[in-house]
């Protein structure tokens, strides 16, 4: 790197567990080689008193933190906030989380289709026990807490086989119709324009015959009980040959990833996809998670460093262009007026858990 090349600073504000998994020395060193300094934000001090930062990378919640980000943005209009709290909060509700899928404008001239499973939200016990509220929803269903904020409580999910298992549920919850998908889930990691799809173990299929013999409900930690002839998940998954599962069409995954990124105005997320076993070319998005466990990906350091480099240099280029185009005009307060213009694919402004079985909501 040339000595005269500009260096960038990214301040990161992450919960201890996320910081431990994501901020590895290997990431810090690689970013430094590319001219990017990753600097820890001190949660005990006001954000506005720290920096300067070209970008704030964060996964903290609460009104105080939101106010600090707003205050920082006013004083540092050219700094990127990755991502905006308002955009992230959409993913904290499992109904609004998946509503965004219906907003996607993706060409229909393809064999594979996508959507979301049938689901309803239950806010109180009376509605939960009312058969009329379940119209159109078939057992088994997956019961998920309505709030998806990464807390231990939001991870607690159940597979409910019949009405006997309903009484154990605690609203508010989302009931999502379970779709047989061959015991395979596809996790798609997105970091800006970078997209990676990987296969993971998932809940085994539930046949009609098996459904009749099952009682009540099972938490996900008890899913191995579904495989009556096998004593462990490992045996079940070896039997089903996870490595032989066909990946979704990459073109479809890329289009969905881009569509979600633009519709949500988020740059760091993953989403979970299953293939409907009864259809074959129908893919269902079942969860979306903000700032997932990227460190689980091979060479995540390179992927994230490239992402940081791209957004920082695009931002810097836009600011330089604005200053040139506006002739360094001053506003009423005498400060240089710069517009925050679009970037990231030339169309989106960078102001920027599924809480799933394998815990990518970290």
The answer to whether 186 is a known ligand-binding residue is yes
pTM: 0.83
The answer to whether 259 is a known ligand-binding residue is no
The answer to whether 184 is a known ligand-binding residue is yes
The answer to whether 99 is a known ligand-binding residue is no
pLDDT at 222: 52
pLDDT at 217: 83
The answer to whether 206 is a known ligand-binding residue is no
Place of tokens 């909060």: 89
100, 89 Cβ separation under 8 angstroms: no
The answer to whether 18 is a known ligand-binding residue is yes
Q: Are strands 268-275 and 184-191 parallel, antiparallel or unpaired?
A: antiparallel
The answer to whether 103 is a known ligand-binding residue is no
The answer to whether 36 is a known ligand-binding residue is no
pLDDT tens digit sequence for 319-340: 555 545 555 444 443 333 333 3
The answer to whether 287 is a known ligand-binding residue is yes
pLDDT at 168: 86
The answer to whether 59 is a known ligand-binding residue is yes
* pLDDT-derived band at 247, boundaries 50, 70, 90: very high
CA atoms within 13 A on the CB side of 167: 4
The answer to whether 185 is a known ligand-binding residue is yes
The answer to whether 230 is a known ligand-binding residue is no
The answer to whether 353 is a known ligand-binding residue is no
The answer to whether 51 is a known ligand-binding residue is no
The answer to whether 293 is a known ligand-binding residue is yes
Q: What is the gyration radius of the CA atoms in the chain, in angstroms?
A: 23
The residues near 170 (Cβ < 8 Å, ≥ 6 apart) are: none
Q: Are strands 80-82 and 113-115 parallel, antiparallel or unpaired?
A: unpaired
Instruction: Kindly tell me if the per-residue pLDDT of 69 is higher than 60.
Output: yes
In angstroms, the Cα distances linking 35 to 4, 38, 54, 270 are 11, 10, 12, 27
pLDDT tens digit sequence for 179-231: 999 999 999 999 999 999 999 988 889 988 788 778 888 887 554 455 444 44
């Amino acid at each position: 790197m040339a000595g005269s090349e500009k260096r960038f600073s990214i301040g990161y504000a992450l919960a201890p567990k996320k910081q431990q998994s994501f901020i590895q020395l290997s990431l810090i060193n690689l970013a430094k080689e590319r001219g990017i300094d990753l600097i820890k934000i001190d949660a005990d001090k006001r954000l506005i008193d720290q920096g300067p930062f070209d970008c704030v990378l964060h996964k903290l919640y609460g009104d105080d933190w939101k106010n600090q980000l707003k205050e920082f943005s006013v004083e540092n209009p050219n700094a990127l906030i990755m991502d905006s709290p308002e955009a992230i909060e959409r993913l904290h509700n499992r109904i609004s989380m998946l509503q965004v899928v219906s907003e996607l404008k993706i060409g229909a001239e393809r064999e594979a289709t996508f959507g979301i499973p049938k689901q309803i939200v239950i806010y109180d016990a009376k509605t939960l026990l009312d058969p009329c509220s379940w119209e159109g929803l078939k057992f088994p269903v997956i019961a998920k807490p309505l709030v998806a904020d990464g807390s231990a409580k939001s991870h607690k999910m159940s597979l409910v086989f019949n009405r006997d298992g309903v009484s154990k549920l605690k609203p508010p919850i989302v009931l999502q119709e379970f779709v047989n998908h061959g015991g395979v889930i596809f996790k798609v990691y997105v970091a800006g324009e970078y997209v990676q799809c990987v296969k993971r173990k998932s809940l085994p299929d539930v046949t009609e015959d098996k459904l009749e013999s099952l009682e009540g409900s099972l938490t996900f930690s008890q899913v191995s009980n579904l495989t009556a002839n096998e004593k462990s998940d490992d045996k079940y998954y070896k039997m089903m040959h996870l490595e032989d599962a066909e990946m979704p069409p990459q073109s479809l995954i890329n289009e969905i990833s881009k569509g979600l990124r633009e519709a949500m105005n988020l740059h760091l997320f993953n989403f979970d996809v299953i293939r409907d076993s009864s259809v074959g070319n129908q893919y269902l998005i079942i969860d979306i998670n903000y700032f997932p466990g990227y460190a689980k990906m091979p060479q995540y350091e390179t992927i994230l460093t490239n992402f940081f480099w791209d957004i920082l240099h695009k931002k810097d280029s836009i600011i330089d262009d604005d200053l040139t185009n506006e002739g360094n005009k001053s506003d009423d307060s005498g400060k240089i007026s710069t517009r925050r213009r679009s970037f990231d694919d030339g169309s989106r402004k960078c102001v920027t858990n599924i809480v799933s079985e394998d815990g990518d909501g970290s």
